[in-house]
Amino acid sequence: MSRPIRYRPHHFLCTIGFEGKGYSEAFTANMASIVDGRLRAKGGDDLQIEVVGAADDLCAPCPKRRGNLCTNQTQINRLDRAHAAALDLAPREVLTWGEAKDRIRQNVPKGSLATLCEGCQWEPYGMCEAALARLHDAD
Ligand code: SF4
């Protein structure tokens, strides 16, 4: 069996909102292969994800990554803390993508990303909030 996908806490919700945009061509191609090619593909809900506290499988080709850190580490730490608390994620916890989506539905109400994701450059565009609403409406 392949190893779990490694995600830092705030990337669970970023995966919900992903629409094929990112920080560079390589970053976007990698994120698309994980999000569209695996998690949103047939059987994706059964894939395992391990919660990590540093650069993860989405960060790997990011032009802002510096080793295990980020050029914007203070903001990333704030997002990770807020999202870990909201989703009740523990370090090294392993959960399936289906379980992660259930946890988002149970813990992140519509309209909460302006606060939860405050400071993220993608938040003002509204695609993550729209995707969160679709996730709830699909219940
Ligand atoms: S607004 Fe930013 S941090 Fe929040 S889910 Fe979207 S991309 Fe991720």
Tens digits of residue pLDDT in 81-110: 999 999 999 999 999 999 999 999 999 999
Protein residue with least CA distance to atom 5, ligand 1: 14
Q: Tell me the CA–centroid distance for residue 17 and ligand 1, in Å.
A: 7
Q: Render the chain in DSSP notation, one character per residue.
A: -PPPEEE-TTHHHHHHH--S--SSHHHHHHHHHHIIIIITSTTGGG-EEEE-SSS-TTTTT-TTEETTEETTHHHHHHHHHHHHHHHT--TT-EEEHHHHHHHHHHH--TT-HHHHTTT-TTGGG-HHHHHHHHHHHT-
* Per-residue model confidence (pLDDT) at position 1: 59
Atom of ligand 1 nearest to the CA of 117: 4
**Residue ranges of the domains in the chain?**
5-137
Ligand 1 residue neighbourhood (C-beta within 6 Å): 10, 13-14, 17, 79, 113, 117, 120, 122-123, 128
Q: Tell me the CA–centroid distance for residue 32 and ligand 1, in Å.
A: 15
Angle at 49 between CA 60 and CA 57, to 5 degrees: 5
2 confidence band (pLDDT: 50, 70, 90): confident
